[in-house]
Chains A and B, each alone.
Chain A
């Protein structure tokens, strides 16, 4: 290499270094990949969904722009109204149970006891098993003919008639809520436990000396101090539960008679099952304002 080339090389390198030293430029360079990925995988499907919802596209057909027709149709669809109500019902009760049970577990696990670590870890089990898998197991337990629960209850003489777990509309809804709760409790418990551990034990001792009993200590000290964490988990869980799909799809498929259909499963059924892509998209978009409101 001639000294001239070396010189040029050096100038080149230093120009690149200087460019990297510039904070604004560096920020853009570092953020660009993430932004591109976000746009590709989040914004694109979202925009597509909006576009689809404004057309009467069917599988295999060519869509035409129909404006808000799909939304208006959905709004007047009685099944959709049931589904919308189901979704609220499901989300509300599942969240209430998850919060109550999760809090209770977190309070228990926050004490000192033997094999604390093993128990804390094993509690996460429902959380790490894939939903589809565990829901299948539950479906089996609730099966009209082979239900273990029915069998046990029957043989200890608790019931004389089989319980209609998934064959009755109300029962099926509560079963779905139960399974969702079972699956979601560990997340609540672990997160709340982490929150509990940031509360200084001195505060509990001070409250105990101040004459507060266990319930009053919870209500006046733990609950208000845990509120920020609780809010985050609840919001998180509401979002997930509101748009729940896998669990219902596997457990009941939305039945019997649409009694457990949620917005997501109904949208899927219409869009993919029936092929009315435009209407399905419109229905799934109904979730959006609700979720925005929650956040």
Chain B
């Protein structure tokens, strides 16, 4: 049981700064997920926590102990690698027992722990096989087993599900979550899949170019992104962005561009007043766009033409064009629209988000 604290941690590879001034507090028993595009420094950060990569500057604490100089084996952590990293010449049993043997556990204890882990992961019948005789999903379980037999104070995962097919990935995701609830061990999990991040994480760290963009609970990231990057990265399909200018007219503020004019909701008035006459970016979630009906006020709707229809069953994604802006709307599956039809879309004013066009911070 341990918390993990990173204090202005930096990592340089020669002249490349892979990780910049990361400050982070992973709470005890928390499942923390790092997410971000490829090359943003997630793996590097994880490996620094593991002790597999040196820290260029900064401090890392695991369970109140400064671990900067501590070799990996003394950090009491277990890691699951993307390609599993099972010892190919050892049986499943020996793979799982290896860490305990190295730590001189008595034989009956090793046996008990391996059996327990195998039981939890449902791999008892595979114990005498070699890794190459296992399927990807089974290898994944063995790698998990190897991590949990040690009862470490911290689990580290580096994209452990990315080599599995889509269906298995969803299944393992659920199992991981259940496992974490059962073991109550702090976990840091790296992925580039934002859906995985949202479903698994108690909290999620969004990174880009070595910088932490935002740390928060999944819904917090979704509903109150701190900047345009987080807003665009979290959520699928992604948030729609429209460049607009702010104008003050007839007692209110208006978001204008060539194709539409929308009234700024009262909650945002304060933040947008200094932006009158300037460009800002408007962010609209796909589900905040619906087909307008008779009662929709004109000031929160606009005209658009349907370009592509994606009927997904539980919902329909409409790719629409409004002036020069392409947007995606997520609408009810019962709605019938035709390709190239001109429709009126209503915005949910409470869900509009505005971002500074220059610094991209949320307004």
Given contacts A209-B72, A209-B79, A211-B73, are A203 and B85 in contact (CB under 8 A)? yes
CB distance from B47 to the nearest CB of A (A): 8
- Stretch of B97-105, B186-194, B226-234, B354-362 contacting A (4+ beta carbons < 8 Å): B97-105
CA distance in complex: A210, B75 (Å): 10
Q: Which residues of chain A are near B89, meaning CB under 8 Å?
A: 224-225
- Choose one: B73, B85, B103; the contact of A200 (CB below 8 Å): B85
Contact across chains for B83 and A202 when beta carbons are under 8 A apart: yes
CB distance from B86 to the nearest CB of A (A): 8
Report A183-219 CB contacts with B as 1/0, cut-off 8 Å. Answer: 0000000000000000010110111111111001000
Report B52-83 CB contacts with A as 1/0, cut-off 8 Å. Answer: 10000000000000000001110001110101
Q: Which residues of chain A are near B81, meaning CB under 8 Å?
A: 202, 205-206
- Choose one: B73, B99, B146, B150; the contact of A213 (CB below 8 Å): B73
Given contacts A205-B52, A205-B72, A206-B79, are A211 and B85 in contact (CB under 8 A)? no
Which secondary structure dominates where chain A touches chain B? helix
Verify if A220 is at the interface (C-beta below 8 Å from B). Answer: yes
Verify if B255 is at the interface (C-beta below 8 Å from A). Answer: no
Verify if B88 is at the interface (C-beta below 8 Å from A). Answer: yes
CB distance from B283 to the nearest CB of A (A): 40
Contact across chains for A207 and B98 when beta carbons are under 8 A apart: yes
Chain A: residues with CB nearer than 8 A to chain B? 200, 202-203, 205-213, 216, 220-221, 224-225
13 extra interface residue pairs, beta carbon distance < 8 Å, beyond A205-B79, A210-B73: A202-B83, A205-B50, A206-B146, A207-B98, A209-B72, A209-B73, A210-B99, A210-B150, A211-B73, A211-B103, A212-B102, A216-B102, A225-B89
A-B contact pairs, 29 of them (CB 8 A): A200-B83, A200-B85, A202-B81, A202-B85, A203-B85, A203-B87, A205-B72, A205-B79, A205-B85, A206-B79, A206-B146, A207-B87, A208-B71, A208-B72, A209-B52, A209-B72, A209-B77, A209-B78, A209-B79, A210-B99, A210-B150, A211-B73, A212-B73, A212-B98, A212-B102, A213-B73, A216-B102, A220-B98, A224-B89
Chain B: residues with CB nearer than 8 A to chain A? 50, 52, 71-73, 77-79, 81, 83, 85, 87-89, 98-99, 102-103, 146, 150
